[in-house]
Amino acid sequence: MNDERNLLPYWLSAPGTLAMLAFVALPLVLTLGLSLYPFVPGTGVGEGLTATHYLDIARDEYFHTIFARTFGMALLVTAICVLIGVPEAYVLSRLSPRWRAASMVVVLGPLLISVVVRTLGWALLLGNEGVINKALLALGLISEPIKMMFTFTGVVVALVHVLVPFMVLAVWASLQKLDAATEQAAASLGAGPPTVLARIVFPQVIPGVLSGGLIVFALAASAFATPAIIGGRRLKVVPTTIYDEFLGNLNWPLGAALAAVLLVIVLAVSLGANRFVERRWKQVFQ
Amino acid sequence: MNHKLSGNRWPLRAFHAAFVVFMLAPLLVVVLVSFTDKGYIALPFDGASWRWYRAILAAPDFIDAFWRSLALGAAAATLATVLAVPAGMAIAWHRFAGRDALLGLLLSPLMVPHVVLGIALLRFLTQIGASGSWWGLTAAHTVIVLPYVLRLVVAAATGFDRSVAQAAQSLGASGWTVFRRVELPLIVPGVAGGWLIAFINSFDELTMSIFVASAATQTLPVRMYNHIAHTIDPLLASVSTVLIVLTLAVMLVLDRFYGLDRVLSGKA
């Protein structure tokens, strides 16, 4: 093959690469730079370099609370998504083809509907005048409305709804790779259905659970619309704080520093977990 | 994996039913509320009416934002496809130095929180004097939806038999002819699915657009978010219902031709 042929893949991917460098990589690097400038109230970005915003984030109780809430929320949402998403993926694999097709649309379809619409639905369900409270009051189960809007629980429930399809999707994909013969072999050797599930099926879908969990965790930690609408002003998370610093206080350097910290944590968790999954896969399938 | 749920599996059936209710409840509530004849959110309500659908027609800012989101989605998906098809073919069919790094770079918007991309692009576009511009918004949407097209193009291109292209070449077809008459037709289904997924992701995108869109270039999700931040009224429910119905149509097309699970996990 001549040189022209060897350069072909580079030419083919050059336009996409340039777009990514110009509109993703460069802006991110500039944001990192922005986070090192001092903030001057009124004019915005000052002169000189400073680490003051990072020191503020590291020292200030206010930011600790916000980061702890964000990642605590993301962990809880991920755990609930594993608890309900894994069994749901398993049920889907056991349905007759017709029911499965219909159920797939119900379970995965919401991913295509705007998060604003889905969160609006939860706002209508969870409010003091909302459907859930009205129903419970009418049934006489409670005497006064339970507060669910603007609470941690409310945000977690809505986020689980927004993100659980990713978990079902990931586990479903690894269930597809499962060899039915392994289950039959276990059953023929006398294992009951619970044993087959626990000892044969579940170990084989763990990679799917981990990759689904990773997606859910990263998206939960960076979710904006749902915490903003259901959580409101008082229940701040990192993304809503970045929004307030940028568009409310016009403190762009602090907003950029918060964004840099969020990005580093999310990337570290994602890449770390990815490496872990890859290592496990190697051990299992060598 | 082909056995059906048998009768003694009723706990699984009950779980499935509860899961389906959980997934549908918020969407059904939105649809129900949109038919109220009251001036506020009320459930249950007495009289059903089209009042809040007529109200959409009297809300030009929502209608403008809808058309803007539609145009933005189409432009971003088309640009992303134009960039992703050649890159996807290079990644699927060639082994070259830096291939993994290139794939990582092209998929990187999937890993970066949209709020971070949003402020990064706001700052960048401000510095180059393009903040609030239509082309800046289009460029931003193009890069964030490119990974969705790329995954499906790579999956489609990896799946097909390269000997077909080699046969055409050995029979004297030029590189361009091989691409146009042999390779492209074989990956068109992947490309079309990728375009549609990219379009939907652009159309739905809120978090990055909040920062990048100006008052004059508000997309529909941004317009709706700003409305919710102010007040929640049945107008939002009727607009949302229109979106749910339109999305349902796209969903059925995707499911019919590709399978929702395959197209959503990037394997169609």
- A35-59 pLDDT, tens digit per residue, is 999 998 877 788 888 999 999 999 9
Chain A environment of B225 (Cβ under 8 Å): 116, 225, 228-229
- A92-149 pLDDT, tens digit per residue, is 988 888 899 899 999 999 999 999 999 999 999 999 888 899 889 989 999 999 999 9
* Per-residue model confidence (pLDDT) at position A283: 57
Asked, for residue B42, whether it belongs to a domain, the answer is no
A94 touches chain B (CB under 8 A): yes
Asked, for residue A106, whether it belongs to a domain, the answer is yes
By the 8 A CB rule, do A105 and B250 touch? no
Number of domains in chain B: 1
Letter string b/e over residues B55-91, b meaning 16 or more CB atoms within 10 A of that residue's CB: bbeeeeebeebbebbbebbebbbbbbbebbbbbbbbb
CB pair distance less than 8 Å for A107 and B26: no
Alpha carbons within 13 angstroms on the beta-carbon side of residue A230 total 32
Share of chain B above pLDDT 90, in %: 63
Asked, for residue A81, whether it belongs to a domain, the answer is yes
CB pair distance less than 8 Å for B210 and A24: no
Asked, for residue A38, whether it belongs to a domain, the answer is no
A268 touches chain B (CB under 8 A): no
CATH assignment at residue A144: 1.10.3720.10
Helix axes B234-257, A97-108, angle to 10 degrees: 140
Nearest to B90 among A13, A88, A110 (CB): A13
Asked, for residue B142, whether it belongs to a domain, the answer is yes
For A48, phi then psi, to 5°, come to 85, 170
Q: Which residue range is the domain that position A100 belongs to?
A: 69-285
pLDDT of A153 > 50? The answer is: yes
Share of chain B above pLDDT 70, in %: 96
* Chain A residues 160-189 within an 8 A CB cutoff of chain B: 161, 164-165, 169-170, 172-173, 175-176, 178, 180
Whether complex ipTM tops 0.90 = yes
* Per-residue model confidence (pLDDT) at position B262: 86
Q: How confident is the model at residue A230 (pLDDT cuts 50, 70, 90)?
A: very high
CATH assignment at residue B128: 1.10.3720.10
Mean pLDDT of chain B: 90
**Closest by Cα among B102, B241, B205 to A18:** B102
Q: How far apart are CA A20 and CA A23, in angstroms?
A: 5
Distance from CA of B63 to the nearest CA of A (A): 16
- B96-150 pLDDT, tens digit per residue, is 999 999 999 999 999 999 999 999 999 999 999 998 899 999 999 999 999 999 9
* Per-residue model confidence (pLDDT) at position B197: 94
* Per-residue model confidence (pLDDT) at position B5: 46
pLDDT of B253 > 50? The answer is: yes
CB pair distance less than 8 Å for A16 and B146: yes
A150 or B48, higher pLDDT: A150
pLDDT of B25 > 80? The answer is: yes
Chain A environment of B41 (Cβ under 8 Å): 124, 129
* Per-residue model confidence (pLDDT) at position A108: 93
pLDDT of B1 > 60? The answer is: no
Nearest to B221 among A101, A116, A239 (CB): A116
Distances in Å between the alpha carbon of B156 and those of A15, B93, B160? 20, 11, 7
A204 touches chain B (CB under 8 A): no
Chain A environment of B28 (Cβ under 8 Å): 121
Asked, for residue A36, whether it belongs to a domain, the answer is no
Mean pLDDT of chain A: 90
CB pair distance less than 8 Å for A103 and B16: yes
B101 or A204, higher pLDDT: B101
Best B9, B124, B227 member to test A by mutation, with max A CBs in 10 Å, is B124
Rounded average pLDDT over A71-92: 96
Distance from CA of A84 to the nearest CA of B (A): 8
* Per-residue model confidence (pLDDT) at position B164: 83
Which of A138-142, A180-184, A208-212, A265-269 shows the lowest mean pLDDT across its residues?
A180-184
Q: How confident is the model at residue B8 (pLDDT cuts 50, 70, 90)?
A: low
Asked, for residue B75, whether it belongs to a domain, the answer is yes
* Per-residue model confidence (pLDDT) at position B7: 45
Chain B environment of A196 (Cβ under 8 Å): none
Asked, for residue B195, whether it belongs to a domain, the answer is yes
Rounded average pLDDT over B209-231: 94
pLDDT of B186 > 50? The answer is: yes
CB pair distance less than 8 Å for A23 and B211: no
* Per-residue model confidence (pLDDT) at position A286: 39
* Per-residue model confidence (pLDDT) at position B6: 46
* Per-residue model confidence (pLDDT) at position A4: 52
For A13, the closest chain B residue by CA position comes to B87
Asked, for residue B6, whether it belongs to a domain, the answer is no
pLDDT of A257 > 90? The answer is: yes
A102 touches chain B (CB under 8 A): no
For B30, the closest chain A residue by CA position comes to A121
Asked, for residue A12, whether it belongs to a domain, the answer is no
CB pair distance less than 8 Å for B16 and A91: yes
Asked, for residue A49, whether it belongs to a domain, the answer is no
* Per-residue model confidence (pLDDT) at position B2: 43
By the 8 A CB rule, do B141 and B217 touch? no
Asked, for residue A56, whether it belongs to a domain, the answer is no
A101 touches chain B (CB under 8 A): yes
CB pair distance less than 8 Å for A24 and B229: no
B122 or A190, higher pLDDT: B122
CB pair distance less than 8 Å for A109 and B260: yes
Asked, for residue A7, whether it belongs to a domain, the answer is no
pTM for this one? Answer: 0.92
Chain A and chain B share a number of CB contacts under 8 A equal to: 280
* Per-residue model confidence (pLDDT) at position A272: 87
In 3-state terms chain A splits into helix, strand, coil percentages (rounded to 5) of 80, 0, 20
What type of residue sits at position B192? A
Distance from CA of B252 to the nearest CA of A (A): 8
Q: Which residue range is the domain that position B68 belongs to?
A: 56-264
Asked, for residue B215, whether it belongs to a domain, the answer is yes
A3 or B200, higher pLDDT: B200
pLDDT of A67 > 50? The answer is: yes
* Per-residue model confidence (pLDDT) at position A181: 85
Which of A19-28, A156-165, B77-86, B124-133 shows the lowest mean pLDDT across its residues?
B124-133
For A251, the closest chain B residue by CA position comes to B119
Number of domains in chain A: 1
Chain A environment of B244 (Cβ under 8 Å): 113, 117
**Residue whose token pair is 């990773």:** A214
Burial class (CB in 10 A: 0-12, 13-18, 19+), B139: buried
Best A100, A113, A271, A278 member to test B by mutation, with max B CBs in 10 Å, is A113
* Per-residue model confidence (pLDDT) at position A5: 56
pLDDT of A1 > 80? The answer is: no
